[in-house]
Amino acid sequence: VQKMTEAELYSVYKGLYVPAHLHPPDSLKYCEDFTFRPDDILIVTFPKSGTTWMQEVVPLIVSEGDLTPVLTVPNWDRVPWLEEHRAILLNLEQRASPRIFATHFHHHMMNESYFKTKPRVLYVMRNPKDVFTSSYHYYGMASYLVNPGTPDEFMEKFLDGKIMFGSWFDHVKSWINAEEKESILYIFYEEMIADLKGSVEKIAKFLGKSLSPDVTEKIADHCVFKNMKQNKMSNFSLVPEEYMDQKKSEFLRKGIAGDWKNLFTEAQEQRFNAVYKDKMKDVTFKFMWD
Ligand code: A3P
């Protein structure tokens, strides 16, 4: 597939690049007008931070370990992105509570209904060096994203927020500074890697679900990387190769913390650290990777 330029592939929405093909104007309008319910569950991420993983974990917590939803419904319909073209088609207004959605929006991009209703939010964060690394491979295989170029070139775009959904730094800062903290659970990709069972328990508790140890175990076992990778409803194998060429790089690629060490040169690490230090200088929030 011939890769195109930013101008051809992306549109600019509220100052950020979004893949035009996935987010036509009517979808963005739908998202702006969307009415939330207080018991909605929103999975919020900067892309490549663990969205798909949570699209597996959260429905299983809600279903109390019944695998039917994750084995029969593709992740993008099971937990639709509100800003994506498919949301309009899914009759979300008719869905039974608790509805589960995903979004890559920054905090200030959320609509009026969000701020009025304050649905429950799971904000998933990942070491930005690994977000970069995962993105680098992903931009190389998805035809609706601009070719990443060399790691050096892509790093400048990443650090400058000239990629889909803008700056990782702005995204994270916007959500950690949210006022409605009592309705947000902050969770790290790295903590899910370190203790998936504990993370399932923590998320379940936040969602007001008490799960037996057996059910917790079952969910964690299903969601561990090597098992989840086999689920064709979640590994994006249903997406035609012209959109995602998984022969180049799989969507469920490595699933580890610290893969950036296999990509970054020392100079790149220093460059990244310097920008991180500057952009995060006023932040007091404790990140797991610091
Ligand atoms: P890698 O490319 O580093 O492997 P998103 O879903 O937000 O696009 O994020 C994708 C990243 O999450 C990919 O990272 C993917 O492999 C990882 N991921 C998805 N499911 C996972 C799981 N069950 N365990 C660990 N990592 C997972």
Q: How confident is the model at residue 4 (pLDDT cuts 50, 70, 90)?
A: confident
ipTM field: 1.00
Asked if residue 146 has its Cβ within 6 Å of ligand 1, the reply is no
Nearest CA to ligand 1 atom 3: 134
Asked if residue 223 has its Cβ within 6 Å of ligand 1, the reply is yes
- Pocket test of ligand 1: the residue of 56, 122, 225 to mutate, having most ligand atoms within 8 Å of its CB, is 225
Q: For the chain, how big is the Rg over CA atoms in Å?
A: 18
Compute the distance between CA of residue 224 and CA of residue 211 in angstroms, rounded to an integer: 18
- Pocket test of ligand 1: the residue of 129, 132, 134 to mutate, having most ligand atoms within 8 Å of its CB, is 134
User: How much is the pLDDT for 187?
Assistant: 98
151 beta partners? none
User: How much is the pLDDT for 2?
Assistant: 55
Active site residue 23: no
Asked if residue 104 has its Cβ within 6 Å of ligand 1, the reply is no
> What confidence tens digit (pLDDT) does each residue in 94-147 have?
999 999 999 999 999 999 999 999 999 999 999 999 999 999 999 999 999 999
Please state whether beta strands 120-125 and 184-188 pair in parallel, antiparallel, or not at all (unpaired).
parallel
Distance in Å, CA 259 to ligand 1 centroid: 12
Question: Active-site residue among 104, 137, 171, 222?
Answer: 104
ω into residue 98 within 30 of 0, thus cis?
Answer: yes
Residue percentage of the chain with pLDDT more than 90: 98
Q: Where are the alpha helices (DSSP H) in 100-259?
A: 112-117, 128-141, 151-160, 168-176, 189-194, 196-206, 213-223, 225-228
Mean pLDDT over 22-47 rounds to: 98
Asked if residue 134 has its Cβ within 6 Å of ligand 1, the reply is yes
> What confidence tens digit (pLDDT) does each residue in 200-228 have?
999 999 999 999 999 999 999 999 999 99
Q: What six digits make up the tokens of 17?
A: 């690049």
Distance in Å, CA 254 to ligand 1 centroid: 7
Nearest 5°: phi and psi at 108?
-70, -10
Region class of 14: left (phi > 0), else alpha (psi between -120 and 50), else beta: left
Average pLDDT, the chain: 97
If we measure between CA atoms, which residue out of 122, 136, 110, 80 comes closest to residue 249? Answer: 136
Dihedral sign computed on CA atoms, order 155, 159, 160, 164: positive
